[in-house]
């Protein structure tokens, strides 16, 4: 092979990478949604417990 020969390079690799990114995007979204849902559930549980504490009769 001489230094002046041209080498053909196929540019198929970026398409495969973009497919991987698109496939990973819904997983990240669902993880974020699950995380948000857990946060909301925890806040609601905390409010419920605070209401129970406020209603509790400490003078038994």
**Measuring CA to CA, which residue among 36, 37, 43, 38 is closest to residue 51?**
43
Residue 37 lies in a domain: yes
Average pLDDT over residues 26-46: 91
Average pLDDT over residues 6-34: 65
Residue 45 lies in a domain: yes
pTM tops 0.75, yes or no:
no
CA 18 – CA 24 distance, rounded (Å): 10
Residue 18 lies in a domain: no
Residue 22 lies in a domain: no
Share of the chain above pLDDT 70, in %: 53
- How many domains is the chain built from? 1
Q: Which domain holds residue 48?
A: 29-55
Residue 1 lies in a domain: no
Q: For residues 39 and 16, which has the higher predicted lDDT (pLDDT)?
A: 39
């Amino acid at each position: 092979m001489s230094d002046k020969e041209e080498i053909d390079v196929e540019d198929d690799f970026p398409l495969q990478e973009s497919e991987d990114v698109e496939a990973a995007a819904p997983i990240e979204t669902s993880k974020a949604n699950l995380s948000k849902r857990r946060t909301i559930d925890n806040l609601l549980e905390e409010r419920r417990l605070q209401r129970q504490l406020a209603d509790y009769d400490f003078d038994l």
